[in-house]
């Protein structure tokens, strides 16, 4: 149930973001699709893989995952701009 809620909140946030921004080029048009697919794939892979065996291993995995997704999200934001208000 928690996985469905997490993915639902992520997708709702992405829909909200995409409705309020527009692509600045071809990359901005397709990058969100790739970003969403990658996030969903990593989410499901993370749920099916065994948990890290130690706290330091978990810490490194969590920090690297966060860093990669933060950089990907920053790249997504650079390919879009705010939509003008009506």
Average pLDDT for residues 28-55, to the nearest whole number?
92
Domain boundaries, the chain: 2-82
What pLDDT shows up at residue 86? 63
Average pLDDT for residues 12-40, to the nearest whole number?
95
Report whether 6 contacts 64 (CB < 8 A). no
For residues 72 and 84, what is the distance between their CA atoms, to the nearest angstrom?
Answer: 24
Mean pLDDT of the chain: 92
For residues 6 and 71, what is the distance between their CA atoms, to the nearest angstrom?
Answer: 20
Average pLDDT for residues 57-66, to the nearest whole number?
93
- Work out the burial of residue 69: count CB atoms within 10 Å of its CB; fewer than 13 is exposed, 13-18 middle, 19 or more buried: middle
Percent pLDDT > 90 in the chain is 78
For residues 37 and 46, what is the distance between their CA atoms, to the nearest angstrom?
Answer: 14
């Amino acid at each position: 149930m928690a996985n469905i809620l997490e993915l639902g909140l992520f997708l709702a946030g992405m829909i909200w973001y995409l409705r309020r921004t527009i692509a600045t080029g071809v990359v901005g048009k397709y990058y969100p699709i790739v970003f969403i697919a990658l996030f969903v794939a990593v989410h499901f892979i993370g749920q099916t893989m065994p948990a890290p065996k130690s706290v330091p291993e978990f810490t490194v995995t969590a920090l690297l995952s966060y860093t990669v997704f933060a950089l990907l999200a920053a790249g997504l934001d650079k390919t879009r701009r705010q939509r003008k208000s009506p």
